[in-house]
Amino acid sequence: MMISVDNTSPDNGSDQGRPRRRTAATIFIDVVGYSRLMGSDEEGTHQRWMSMRSDVIEPRVASNAGEVIKSTGDGLLLEFRNPVDAIRFALGMQMHLAESSSAGSNPLQLRMSANVGDVIAERDDIYGDGVNIAARLQEFAGPGGVVISGAIHDQVKDHLRYQAADLGFLTLKNIERRIRAFKIAHHDLRAPTISVAHSLKPSVAVLPLQMLGLQAADAYLAQGIVHDIVASLAGIRELFVVSSTSTLGFTGPTVDPGAVCHRLGVRYLVTGTLKRHGELLRMRVELIDVDTRSMLWTNQYEASISQLFDVQETIATSIAYALLPHIHISELQHAERKAPQSMNAYDLVLQGMYRLYRLGHDDMLAARSLFERALDHDPQYAAAYALMAKWYILHIGEGHSTDFKADSREAFRLASRALEFEPSDPMALAIFGHINSFLFGAYDRAIDAFDRAIGGTPNSAIAWSLSASTYCYLGDGPRAVARASYGISLSPLDPYAYFYQSALTNAHYTNETFDDAVHWGTKVMAAAPQFAANLRLLAASLVAAGSLERAREVGAAHMRIDPSFSVEKYCSWYPIKQPDRLALLGERLIEAGLPR
């Protein structure tokens, strides 16, 4: 049952001039491009707006028990006693305008935003936080769009039928806390689409560690660790991270995670304790998904007080990169629960990434389709372009390409496009670098891209790991091993860890530490048996290590995955710089049973 929101004070009417507080649903309506329209036809535009107000908007407001509070020139502020009536009005207006447009008339384009909350009412106006939020949400609506706050969505979603796309928590001008919002559409219209620019990144806050057994004078220890964790997380561009100064007030064991997340506008919380046992400090850290009230990850770290300042940055980095894969999995599961038509660009990229790394033929096709849909939603989404470029890397590397040159050019175009929108994004730079060395043999240009990625984000696992491959092509085994090992250390729990581990197969093969190459190649084969690029290097490493029978077993597994493979065709493009090393790789593959 919907609760009435007419909460006027008991002394209503006793002091007509005194402002009154109440809870109300408010809607802002705005004419899109009004100034431009007035510039080209002032009189005609004004007349069309006045006619729409009197003939369409005001009667619909009245029929939904609402009131026009004031005009803003090119817009209106409306108030409704009941949130359901407010959203019913907005959806009805949206449908009316869509039908008018399809019937051949040319109505003015409107955008609308709605919120429910406390307002302060005077004789002919309302104002306050509830009104301000509704006003600030309007900029996210777009032509014909309706954006509503999470507060009003929660009150009406079980009473009205409509399509909704989650915008996440938005940062609104002059609003202290972040506000969750949804873009909605009438159920008979096209599902709403949104841009990742609207704060769709996973949002995280790190709360102060609870000090157990420490003196108040030791508070700087806990604060220093939290500051470093936040700094490490902030270096991960996929996350929205609340500053550590914004969380300092949330201390003590009685803090309610739900209230904290609502206040800060985040979904994930990092909490923990810091205990002292003599000179030993023991820290336990947890990652909580507040939406599902579940703990996603926990771990414990130890250091002596004398060592803390030396190791706290390392601990903070370890925590940050241990959290990331769990957040990825949580976000993917969240996306998979949505109806396909309600997924936004971020959800589509997550699902595309998941399918991409499964490597099967159907999965690869599905991944490409998901990335393309993400770009339909948001044509400026750098991550979608970068992952599409990576799709081509795997498409070629796994032996699926029928036109190497054309597919290489498309990979380069997509990677370059990603950098147009995010010039310093480490993933985009790393993929751009790998394409240059892997597909074009442009090693210097590749190293420059990797250096830019690592210089801007020193803890980028993908940049370190992919750069190892370039040093493999150049024949620098020690540097390749060092880079691949560091890449794995940065993302030890990644659900796609095999991709980083395969860099170590290649690195150890290049370094001629063949037993280690076999170890990592076997590990990757167990996790991703369809990864043909790894099987080739594993087979060659087994031949070099003297395990010819096992090498032929791996070679046979490879041919079941890629039956059209030939060593000569592969060696015609594989980018090992030194001809003698490339020829030796070919000979070892032939010894492993792969066709010449």
Instruction: Locate 331 and state its tokens.
Output: 């976000």
CATH code assigned at 313: 3.40.50.10070
- Cα separation, 98 vs 60, whole angstroms: 16
In a domain, 411, yes or no: no
**Of 290, 265, 284, 277, nearest in space to 203 by CA:** 265
* pLDDT single digits (tens) 178-230: 788 899 999 998 888 665 444 456 778 888 888 776 665 566 666 677 777 77
Burial class (CB in 10 A: 0-12, 13-18, 19+), 92: middle
Q: Domain of 579: which CATH number? A: 1.25.40.10
Check if the beta carbon of residue 164 is closer than 8 Å to that of residue 183: yes
Which residues lie below 8 Å from residue 146, measured CB to CB, with a gap of 6+? 90, 91, 94, 111, 112, 113, 114, 183, 184, 185
Domain final residue pick, 153, 186, 219: 186
Domain termination site, one of 134, 157, 186:
186
Judge if 165 and 282 occupy the same domain: no
In this structure, which amino acid lies at residue 204? Answer: V
Strands 210-212 and 268-277: parallel
302 pLDDT higher than 70: yes
- The predicted pLDDT at position 18 comes to 61
The Cα 515–Cα 140 span in angstroms is 56
What stretch of H or E contains 490?
Answer: helix 477-490
Q: Are residues 161 and 221 part of one domain?
A: no
Write the pLDDT tens digit of every residue in 35-52.
888 888 888 899 999 999
Which residues partner with 163 through β-bridges? 185
Min mean pLDDT across 131-140, 365-374, 494-503 is at: 494-503
CA atoms lying within 13 Å on the CB side of residue 542: 24
Q: Examine residue 257 and state whether it is found in any structural domain, yes or no.
A: yes
214 plus 92 within the same structural domain:
no
- 3-state secondary structure at position 94: helix
Segment 351-379 mean pLDDT:
88
Q: Is there a single domain that holds both residue 139 and residue 264? A: no
Q: Do residues 179 and 72 both lie within one domain? A: yes
Contact indicator for 390, 436 with CB cutoff of 8 Å: no
Asked if residue 335 is part of any domain, the answer here is no
Contacts of 230 (CB under 8 A, 6+ apart): 206, 241, 242, 243, 244
Rounded to whole angstroms, how far apart are CA atoms 206 and 230?
7
* C-alpha span between 324 and 241 (Å, rounded): 12
Joined tokens for residue 392: 């081509």
CB 324 within 8 Å of CB 497: no
| Total domain count, the chain | 3
pLDDT digits (tens, 9 = 90+) for 239-288: 777 766 667 677 766 777 777 777 777 778 888 888 877 778 888 888 88
CATH of the domain at 77: 3.30.70.1230
Which residue, 159, 186, 213, sits at the end of a domain? 186
Residue ranges making up the domain that contains 59 = 20-186
The DSSP output letter for 218 is G
Statement to judge: residues 234 and 165 lie in one domain: no
Q: Is 222 exposed, middle or buried (0-12, 13-18, 19+ CB in 10 A)?
A: buried
For residue 305, pLDDT over 80 is answered with: no
Measured between its terminal Cα atoms, the distance across the chain in Å is 74
| Phi, psi (rounded to 5 degrees) for 486 | -65, -35
Residues 174 and 217 in one domain: no
CA dihedral 483, 487, 488, 494 (to 10 degrees): -160
- Considering the domain architecture, whether residues 229 and 325 belong to the same structural domain is answered as yes
Q: Is residue 562 assigned to a domain?
A: yes
Same domain, 246 and 160: no
Q: Are residues 179 and 273 in the same domain?
A: no
Give the strand pairing for 75-80 and 20-31. Answer: antiparallel
CA dist 151 and 149 (Å) reads 5
Tell me, what's the pLDDT at 2? 36
Question: What is the pTM assigned to this prediction?
Answer: 0.65
* 391 lies in some domain: no
- On whether both 24 and 170 belong to a single domain, the answer is yes
Beta bridge partners of 271: 286
Q: Is residue 376 part of a domain?
A: no
Pairwise CA distance, residues 193 & 341, whole Å? 9
Mean pLDDT of 412-429: 93
Residue 471 belongs to some domain of the structure: no
In the chain, what percentage of residues exceed pLDDT 70? Answer: 86
Q: Which of 32-36, 469-473, 534-538 has the lowest mean pLDDT?
A: 32-36
Q: Give CA separation, 424 vs 374, 442, 453, in Å.
A: 21, 20, 7
Select the more confidently predicted residue: 553 or 495.
553
* Cα–Cα distance for residue pair 224/311, rounded to 1 Å: 12
Q: Is residue 51 part of a domain?
A: yes
Backbone angles phi, psi at 463, to 5 degrees: -65, -45
Are 211 and 166 in the same domain? no
